[in-house]
Amino acid sequence: MLILELNSNYKILIVMDATDLKIVRFLQAHPEISMSDLAEKVGLSQTPCWRRVKKLEGDGVISGRAVILDPKSFGIVVDVVAHLRVARQEEETLEALEAAVQTHPEIVECFSMSGESDYMLRVMSSSIEDYEKFLKKTLVHLPGVTGVNSSFVLKRVKLTTDLPL
């Protein structure tokens, strides 16, 4: 049995047994699987399997399923890691920056960071020139940004959405 804690106020938020873990492991590897095939793989009939999946979704354990596209198929060949520094660590500025980041599809990931940079963004573009325009017209004008340090990805060595379960 696996018990997940949200914080000290909630001792038992989500309880998963071995069958639930089988379900999430299998869905993680095969998100496109039909419910009948999943039920067979985890040793349940279809209705109990469906109920467990719905409960896991309702509990937020399964937050969605995705199709992973190859960026090169769409001419998106430049992958950039941009480290942002902000002027002041005030709630209003940080929330404004985080809201602004949500509006730009070129920004595919954003992390609030500890250390030398305040945020790390992953930005995808069709060319270095397009990224330069995005940097000049958008990134440096995000709320509170005082500096951007960009690094270009040379090769993707590993990309996974799988958690180490």
Tokens describing residue 65: 């399923």
Its pTM stands at 0.82
Over the stretch 12-69, which tens digit does the pLDDT of each residue have? Answer: 467 889 999 999 999 999 999 999 999 999 999 999 999 999 999 998 899 988 888 9
Q: Residue 1: pLDDT above 60?
A: no
Check residue 5 and give its pLDDT. 54
Higher-confidence position of 29 and 119:
119
pLDDT, one tens digit per residue, over 64-117 is 888 889 999 999 999 999 999 999 889 999 999 999 999 999 999 999 999 999
Res. 161: pLDDT tops 60: yes
At residue 7, the pLDDT reads 55
The interaxial angle of helices 46-58 and 18-29, nearest 10 deg, is: 80
121-157: pLDDT as tens digits: 999 999 999 999 999 999 999 999 999 999 999 999 9
Alpha helices in 103-138 (DSSP H): 128-137
Q: What pLDDT is attached to residue 165?
A: 86
Task: Look at residue 13 in the predicted model and tell me its pLDDT.
Answer: 61
95 HSE (CA, 13 A, CB side)? 3
